[in-house]
Structure 1
């Protein structure tokens, strides 16, 4: 009888294991998909699409999904809750970035080419690394860095920026995301009064949530107490 009960229990456990979703073990320990923590945060993952400075999908982005360390995701959710009371939402453009994507971007610059008015209006393509606009290494590969903006909840359109890209309803930040130009520096002046105020609002909201800004990009933030400060990852960005 005992053996029969044990056999039934074993097969019940086996059935449960096979019933678990396939995504259960696809991410390294310590990483989560942002939608599983806070689905209210808008995701517009640009390197999984063609509307980015590469003008094609980046290597390693198999889905338009934000992946972060769970600490960064929880902290970002706290920021979202704080601004939601004002009828606003965060919009993330990039989160964890595989090391292979960083290498892909570096290799892309080697082809060279003239400035691109939408993405790097004053710099030649081959000079983007030397000028500091594209890194040979990226904090994004550590999993606690995010590129983002603030938008009005429910808004369906926003003016297209002269440089970079924006999402529906994005507030005016003076430039769009990934505008490789001095005007994207967080404290750049002169800057339209509204854009300067929106940059300040974003920096303050993110700082209150435990993130620090990269001064050359108003959209770029890293969790101050990131769990993997010296480790870079290279697993692909997938939906499950």
Structure 2
């Protein structure tokens, strides 16, 4: 286990790590504990009462945070003809077809954050499944990245759209902004994300859905939020 730094040890003295706080209080503690020389990212970790091994208990989707994440993402679009022009006009960073497949395969090129593809291009994109899948970059209809409305998809991503999905331990990890945002903007982003995840609850999920919720900054400790205070 990595040794914790002096600043981290000082930070955990500022609150009770066994106490469950309201979301607003927890975010204020995270801000008070942030001491890095860079603008730390604030991230939410939601442990859900589902089993991701079962297809009918998957939780996955995307939501546009009202204040974005503090980072503008590079968007690659697989499209042709008019749809390619629409993507370029909307501000996509890279637009192409087989040329981009070759670049990714041949040069191990990944200078982008999100891939959007029109449905008719998925046969082509499927060739990259082996390299895109493990990186979580494969376009998916549930996250709105497989669509003919490429302009809207690019605009949403640039505006602060984030994807949420379960990891193998049934936890969702999502950035909700930067420390510089301040408590109010972070809280509004948190509420929008939590609401989206609650609405995505699978009908097959039994028992308590929100098992635990934690917020933290890049270099700071995790602060617990009372899961019962997040409306279900």
TM-score, with structure 2 as normaliser:
0.23
Q: Which has the higher helix share?
A: 2
Q: Which has the higher contact order (CA 8 A, sep 6+)?
A: 2
Instruction: Determine which structure has more spread, i.e. the larger CA radius of gyration.
Output: 1
TM-score, with structure 1 as normaliser:
0.23
